[in-house]
Amino acid sequence: MRLSELLRTKMINAGHDLHGGELRRVLGPLDLTLLGIGAIIGAGIFVLTGVAAATQAGPAIVLSYLVAGIACAFSALAYAELAASVGGCGSAYGYSYAGLGEIVAWIIGWDLILEYGVATSAVAIGWSGYVNNALAAVGLALPELLTKGPLEGGLVNLPAALIVLILAALLSLGVRESARFNAIMVVVKLIAITIFILVAASHVQPANWSPFMPFGWNGVMGGAALIFFAYVGFDAVSTAAEEARNPQRDLPIGILVSLGVCTLIYIVVSGLLTAIIAYPSLNVGSPVADVMLRLGYPWAAGLVAAGAIAGLTTVMLVLYYGLVVPFSI
């Protein structure tokens, strides 16, 4: 095969008329924004915030989130521009096919399968841990045989396997149903975050912000590198191009607004976390819920745990969607 054939590209028209066999366009800008928020807000805010503050940046974790958010903004602008000008099925696979040719798209396509596949399974394992902790709290904890894989001394991670199968069934029903489920889960975790903010705002101790940058700028940048992964997911919004009613307008809105909203939430939550408790004590698996317990609000800790489960669920849903959709059309 000649090089010109390997590098051949295709024209993609984002505004083409629908005809037999194509996906129905049912997603608007709000749906796409919620998809982005669903993908971004997950383990990053409920886990990484405390770890990065305790080991890397201290109270200056707010600056780390700002730096990481700015870095992601450039990528988001590129995705928004490509989504508006190229259209089609979206994603890095579609854009590379349109601009660089088949062989490059083939390589990137396999990269995306690896990225979304590994990420979905990894989040499923974290989700399993949260759910089992919730079951343990009511005396229904699963045995280790059903919460660990064979390589870890167990038989199967049953909760992780079940949630992946359930989400697969949900996605098979259609994007409208998946978007509605995602919207419900996003509302749940935003309510949990709002409750944390309201409770934490009345317990702020400015002394905990001194020193503000205990690890210097190296710590701020190290924290930014660690929490950068908290922003992964906004790119998955572009995979919904063929199901967006007006992709050239709505995709950039969904990508940029979701990134902006999540950056603001990250900064507010991390700032409050380090203001109500000394940053060295935040190096725990669930710092947000742990802080609520220390302040004497077990009900708030329970809601935060529910928000964390909802957050991880939406992350899996959107990553799973990004895994299967671009390569099935």
Per-residue confidence in pLDDT tens, the chain, 329 aa:
555 555 555 555 444 444 444 556 777 888 888 888 888 887 677 777 888 888 888 899 999 999 998 888 888 888 777 777 776 666 777 778 887 888 888 888 888 888 788 878 878 887 887 788 778 777 787 888 888 878 878 888 888 899 999 988 888 887 778 888 888 888 888 898 898 899 888 888 888 888 899 888 998 999 898 888 777 777 777 777 777 788 778 888 888 888 889 899 999 999 998 999 888 888 876 788 788 888 888 888 888 888 888 888 888 888 887 776 555 44
pLDDT value for 63: 93
- Six-digit token pair at 66? 């700002």
Q: Which are the contacts of 329, defined by CB distance < 8 A and separation ≥ 6?
A: 23, 89, 242
Please, are residues 292 and 301 in contact by the beta-carbon 8 Å criterion?
Answer: yes
Integer angstrom CA distances of residue 64 from 10, 68, 228, 230, 268: 40, 6, 9, 11, 12
Whether the full predicted model's pTM is greater than 0.85, yes or no, is: no
Tokens 């800790």, located at residue: 301
Angle between helices 298-324 and 175-201 (to 10 degrees): 150
- Rounded to whole angstroms, the Cα distance separating 326 from 316 reads 16
